Amino acid sequence: MADGHVVALSGGVGGAKLALGLSRILPPDRLTIVANTGDDFTHLGLTICPDLDTVMYTLADLSNKEAGWGLAGESWNFLDALSALGGEDWFRLGDRDLATHITRTRWLAEGRSLSTVTGDLCRRLGVAHPIVPMSDDPVPTIVELKDGGDLAFQHYFVRDQCEPVVAGFRFEGIERAAPAAGFADALARSDLDCVVICPSNPFVSVDPVLKLPGVQAALDGSDAPVVAVSPIVGGQALKGPAAKMMDELGMPRDPVSVARHYAGRIDGLVIDEADLDSADLVREAGPAATVTQTVMVTLADREQLARDTLAFAASLRA
Amino acid sequence: MADGHVVALSGGVGGAKLALGLSRILPPDRLTIVANTGDDFTHLGLTICPDLDTVMYTLADLSNKEAGWGLAGESWNFLDALSALGGEDWFRLGDRDLATHITRTRWLAEGRSLSTVTGDLCRRLGVAHPIVPMSDDPVPTIVELKDGGDLAFQHYFVRDQCEPVVAGFRFEGIERAAPAAGFADALARSDLDCVVICPSNPFVSVDPVLKLPGVQAALDGSDAPVVAVSPIVGGQALKGPAAKMMDELGMPRDPVSVARHYAGRIDGLVIDEADLDSADLVREAGPAATVTQTVMVTLADREQLARDTLAFAASLRA
């Protein structure tokens, strides 16, 4: 393994698992975790950053591993009382989780950036590795529906349980948004070893990060390979609507579609043993490919996938 | 008992007890409960109205009767998590209580008045009797300290546990504040039978209500008697810092001081059996006086004091 810097791009659950694995094998000064904030939204007057919080809670070892979101040992008394008041209870805000949202909303209102706020929250939760929002500017993901309408992302994802048929996505204001300084600085490091795209939804978790102004140019201008881990395993997304979205967008739900989606943007794709047969087709689509176990059940799985991914990236750099 | 309207002015715990008693013997169209909002403050970005909420929760039968504030069966997981984040945890915000503050803050941000918001909250909590904030305008109580400093009320009351020695009080912006429409309209009713000043702190719970522009003129212009229930019983305040404040302001802690404080503003004072000996001195200070049991332990006590107070008022009107 080289001794340079690694940038990991992550959405929520699956991405956070690999980010955790990377954090277990790299010291804090060798890893920058960049979280998608396209799924951020304002709810009940609070600024809520679901992917960012999932990464933060996962690295703080506070996450609810069964649910895949929120905090372990969470209680729901606020939400029960809100329901009794007839409030909007479709987004499940736990009692302990609320402390994060209220603190963040207050700090943002004081004029601090989301990067600073995230850094402060991480410090207080004992997270040693830097977690950076992709941008300090709001870039809300809008889901464009096949029936012609638009949905704010969390309305699509949580309220409507991903049921509407999607036609596309846009990231509102992205042309005016800047990558957060911690993200841009990490990409510009002369000792950048590789960029890892964690197994997150390509359309709504990774694209917002990659499509921020200047990011693709920085990746193109760097010697560091960009390696993605396929979020599609055996025709399924382990979590979330990626496979359903592929159906609706007319793509076969396999790693080849992932490779094609990232064509020209990644140097290598890590695919699961279940998709061994797709390896050559992935390579034909552009990137190099490696096959390993990508399903992360145990902590050891997370560390092993992190090791395999970094080794694969090193092989591409060599 | 007459069949006109009653206006009850209330602070927190003690006042809410009598307001509850009144609500048990008067139908909703014969009672308007006006709550002090001088103790309102913004905390963690939320608009919090402690006295108003105590009255609301008490009438909704949701209040924590042991603590005297907050909700019964409350949990504190939000506050624990906030403490872990290093947040300001001196004001005890329960998980269920938070739903009220978040909902109110959001509705106020949408441009609704505190009166409208309070009415909506009461409807959703099943409170039939109208509860009105004294004003829709902020009138924050400032505690003037003997050592020359100032303290915002909740900082004095909760954070500093009423320890600083007081020299006086002011109600910021009161000269520009208007009584809430529901309050002014109730005072202007031609069928107003009486105004009851519940056993609340005269300095910080009742004075802000009475000193709102136009209130004293409305009381002076009405035939309805104003009757207060002494919050001082046997030299003690049953709850809160009223007796300590009297010491610090150089007043004997007895109902006579209460009568003198309200001189020219009340027609009658209800005092406790423990203060029987003070009755004549109270009368010398100005108002009529009646002696009864004012300590409200049971629900029956609350109803009985309500009956006694209304009967006393009726005797003054006769």
Binary contact (A96, B86; C-beta < 8 A): no
When the pLDDT of each residue in chain B is averaged and rounded to a whole number, the result is 96
B-chain CB neighbours of A45 within 8 Å are 45, 102, 105-106, 109
Tell me the average pLDDT across B267-273. Answer: 98
pLDDT on residue A223: 94
The tally of CA atoms less than 13 A away on the side-chain side of residue B121 is 33
SS3 of residue A311 by DSSP: helix
Q: Are A230 and A294 in contact (CB under 8 A)?
A: yes
**CA A220/CA B66 separation, integer angstroms:** 66
Over 90: is that where the pLDDT of A157 sits?
yes
The model's confidence at residue B2, banded by pLDDT at 50, 70 and 90, is low
**Which H helix or E strand runs over B300?**
helix B299-317
Question: Which pLDDT tens digit goes with each residue over B131-149?
Answer: 999 999 999 999 999 999 9
**CA A292/CA A289 separation, integer angstroms:** 10
Tell me the average pLDDT across A76-87. Answer: 96
Angstrom distances, CA of residue B90 to CA of A120, B48, B79: 21, 14, 9
User: Which value does ipTM take for this structure?
Assistant: 0.91
DSSP output for A126-156: T--S-EEESBSS---EEEEETTS-EEEHHII
Q: Computed from CA positions of residues B103, B109, B111, B115, in that sequence, does the dihedral angle turn out positive or negative?
A: positive
DSSP output for A72-121: TT---HHHHHHHHTT---SS---HHHHHHHHHHHHHHHTT--HHHHHHHH
Binary contact (A121, B85; C-beta < 8 A): yes
Question: Phi then psi for A232, rounded to 5 degrees?
Answer: -105, 125
Q: Which of A238, A234, A225, A223 is nearest to A197 (CA)?
A: A225
B-chain CB neighbours of A105 within 8 Å are 45
A-chain CB neighbours of B94 within 8 Å are 77
- Asked if B125 is an interface residue toward chain A (Cβ–Cβ < 8 A), one would say yes
Q: Computed from CA positions of residues A124, A125, A130, A136, in that sequence, does the dihedral angle turn out positive or negative?
A: negative
Q: Which two tokens stand for residue B216?
A: 């004293």
Express as a percent the part of chain B with pLDDT over 90. Answer: 94
Those residues whose C-beta lies under 8 Å from the C-beta of residue A240, and which sit 6 or more positions away, are A12, A13, A14, A162, A201, A231
Topology (CATH level 3) of domain A5-138+178-317 = Rossmann fold (3.40.50)
- Single-letter amino acid, residue A29: D
**CA B90/CA B300 separation, integer angstroms:** 35
- Asked if B60 is an interface residue toward chain A (Cβ–Cβ < 8 A), one would say no
Binary contact (B124, A80; C-beta < 8 A): no
pLDDT on residue A242: 95
Residue B308: which region, alpha, beta or left (left: phi > 0; alpha: psi -120 to 50)? Answer: alpha
pLDDT on residue B203: 98
Question: Which pLDDT tens digit goes with each residue over B281-303?
Answer: 999 999 999 999 999 999 999 99
Those residues whose C-beta lies under 8 Å from the C-beta of residue B92, and which sit 6 or more positions away, are B70, B76, B79, B158
pLDDT on residue B194: 98
The model's confidence at residue A66, banded by pLDDT at 50, 70 and 90, is confident
Binary contact (B45, A106; C-beta < 8 A): yes
Question: Which pLDDT tens digit goes with each residue over B151-183?
Answer: 999 999 999 999 999 999 999 999 999 999 999
Comparing CB atoms, the residue among A77, A82, A99 nearest residue B75 is A77
Return the minimum-mean-pLDDT range out of A30-34, B11-15, B210-214, B246-250.
B11-15
Q: Which of B204, B282, B265 is nearest to B237 (CA)?
A: B204
**CA A296/CA A301 separation, integer angstroms:** 5
Tell me the average pLDDT across A13-24. Answer: 96
The model's confidence at residue B91, banded by pLDDT at 50, 70 and 90, is very high
Closest residue, chain A, to B121 (C-alpha): A85
Tell me the average pLDDT across B24-30. Answer: 98
pLDDT on residue B147: 94
When the pLDDT of each residue in chain A is averaged and rounded to a whole number, the result is 96
Tell me the average pLDDT across B30-43. Answer: 98
What count of other Cβ atoms lies within 10 Å of the Cβ of residue B113? 16
Over 60: is that where the pLDDT of A151 sits?
yes
**CA A237/CA A201 separation, integer angstroms:** 9
Closest residue, chain B, to A82 (C-alpha): B99
The model's confidence at residue A291, banded by pLDDT at 50, 70 and 90, is very high
Is CATH 3.40.50.261 correct for B5-317? no
Name the pTM for this structure.
0.93
Binary contact (A97, B80; C-beta < 8 A): no
pLDDT on residue B69: 82
A-chain CB neighbours of B124 within 8 Å are 84-86
The model's confidence at residue A241, banded by pLDDT at 50, 70 and 90, is very high
Angstrom distances, CA of residue B285 to CA of B9, B168, B259: 22, 22, 6
**CA B205/CA B139 separation, integer angstroms:** 12
Tell me the average pLDDT across B246-272. Answer: 97
Closest residue, chain B, to A98 (C-alpha): B78
- Asked if B72 is an interface residue toward chain A (Cβ–Cβ < 8 A), one would say no
Question: Which pLDDT tens digit goes with each residue over B232-245?
Answer: 999 998 889 999 99
Tracing tokens 């909506």 back to the chain, one arrives at: B120
Q: Are B62 and B39 in contact (CB under 8 A)?
A: no
- Single-letter amino acid, residue B199: P
User: Residue B1, Cα to own-chain centre: how many angstroms?
Assistant: 24
pLDDT on residue B66: 81
**CA B188/CA B206 separation, integer angstroms:** 19
Angstrom distances, CA of residue A169 to CA of A160, A263, A301, B77: 16, 18, 32, 37
